Amino acid sequence: MENKFIINGKTKLFGSVNVDGAKNSLLPVLAATVLCDGEIEIKNFVNLEDVKVMLEILKTLGISSKIDSGSCFLQTKNVKNGKITHELSKKLRASIFLLGALLGRFRSAVVAFPGGCKIGERPIDIHLKSFRSLGVKIIEMHGYIFCDASKMKSGSVVLDFPSVGATESLMMCASVLAGKTIIKNAAKEPEIVDLQNFLNKMGAKVFGAGSDTIEIEGVKSLRGGEFSVMPDRIVAGTYLLATATCGGDVTVCGAKAEHNQSLISFLKETACQIEIFSDKIRLKADKRLSSIPLIQTNPFPLFPTDLQSQMLVLQSVSEGSCVLQETVFENRFGCASELKKMGAKIIVKNQFAHIQGVEKLFGADVYATDLRCGAALVAAGMKAEGYTTVYNVSLIDRGYERIEEKYNLLGADIKRI
């Protein structure tokens, strides 16, 4: 049975909350273990639904895993090539990372077209074009991608768009490909830097992550070792935005300001108080905040699409009006129609949401349309007057570990039933 959240609203949030390891760093790092020989310990591990699916996929490839006190221990000595079936792939968009890892390790791969959150078309043409440009023969048939990389050679790849997944998949593959591979117009997200750090710790020679050009000097093989994943900047941003929405005073421990600069700059425009420390961020909001006139999502270091829904909620209850433009995904305003049920005034036209802030939201039955929309609706429910029921909670569990317990410790009243 699908869980739902019953939220008794009009909450203010007080206290401190810890940020766990980043899902979007953990998933590519787990995929990259296919390239390694030996035992790997991943610290700051978080056992989210998406992560469980990735471990299930790795098991089919002969990689066993054990979770113990905040770490995941993976044994790769029996790793083998295998088909990534539809059944597994439809559960997880990130299964596409395995394409790069398998091609690097085995020079062939069969992967089903990936699934994941329904926030747009989410094609994988950039991934496939990049591998083709390195000499990989690819046939797309019956929903599967058949790849032969026996003639693959290192070289220079220019991405049409700085796709996070394509950059990561190429980095993995090129780590064990003889010669130098250069990725131009690479994605610059902090998770790319984290993947570079992981690969290098296991013996790879990857340079430049965090800039738009990444250079990879191929090595023969990667070894095992230990690695700690970065804190989740999107989860940190979700807590900060929830506090700004509900009001209160919350310290987000583990949050790094350099990963959330664009969000912090926007929040400073709203007249909330922000204090930045080396390993935590404190946000205090003791009155209704002002709207931010114009917000646009973009690749890092600009404002992340993964915080767009949570920002939509804050703008819905702020004083003034806001135009929020989504430029990364073509169908990511699913949250708007749910918020309108709660009294928000939002008009969506193409890639733009026009938001006129209202003083109050009211409890309603709402449906998470994707992972981040789900997290945003929880914040809206905590702010609203009366009871809100959030359905499709399994989508939220893909990226947040028992979010309701975290908020309840800050003073919320959320029941999972």
Catalytic residues: 117
Residues near ligand UD1 (CB under 6 A) are 24, 27, 93-94, 120-127, 161, 163-166, 187, 305-306, 328-329
Measured distance CA(263)–CA(412) in Å, rounded: 23
Nearer Cβ to ligand UD1, position 238 or 318? 238
Query: Contact 96/165 with Cβ under 8 angstroms?
Result: yes
Nearer Cβ to ligand UD1, position 20 or 219? 20
Query: Contact 342/384 with Cβ under 8 angstroms?
Result: yes
Residue from 355, 351, 408 nearest 382 by CA: 408
Determine the residue with CB nearest ligand UD1. Answer: 165
Report the nearest approach of ligand UD1 to the CB of residue 19 (Å): 16
* 213-217/180-184 β-pairing: antiparallel
294, HSE (Cβ side, Cα atoms, 13 Å): 0
Report the nearest approach of ligand UD1 to the CB of residue 191 (Å): 6
Report the nearest approach of ligand UD1 to the CB of residue 306 (Å): 5
Measured distance CA(96)–CA(33) in Å, rounded: 14
Query: Helix (H) and strand (E) counts for the chain?
Result: 14, 23
Instruction: Give Cα 137 distance to the centre of its chain.
Output: 30
Report the nearest approach of ligand UD1 to the CB of residue 214 (Å): 15
C-beta neighbour count of 121 within 10 angstroms: 9
DSSP 221: -
Instruction: Give Cα 205 distance to the centre of its chain.
Output: 25
Report the nearest approach of ligand UD1 to the CB of residue 243 (Å): 22
Nearer Cβ to ligand UD1, position 24 or 197? 24
Residue from 214, 143, 220 nearest 185 by CA: 214
Which token pair is 379? 């914040």
Nearer Cβ to ligand UD1, position 235 or 412? 235
- List C-alpha distances in Å: 197 to 31, 107, 213, 214: 14, 24, 16, 13
Nearer Cβ to ligand UD1, position 166 or 390? 166
141 contacts: CB under 8 Å, gap ≥ 6: none
Nearer Cβ to ligand UD1, position 160 or 385? 160
Report the nearest approach of ligand UD1 to the CB of residue 260 (Å): 14
Order of strands across the sheet that contains 294-296: 294-296, 321-325, 352-356, 345-349
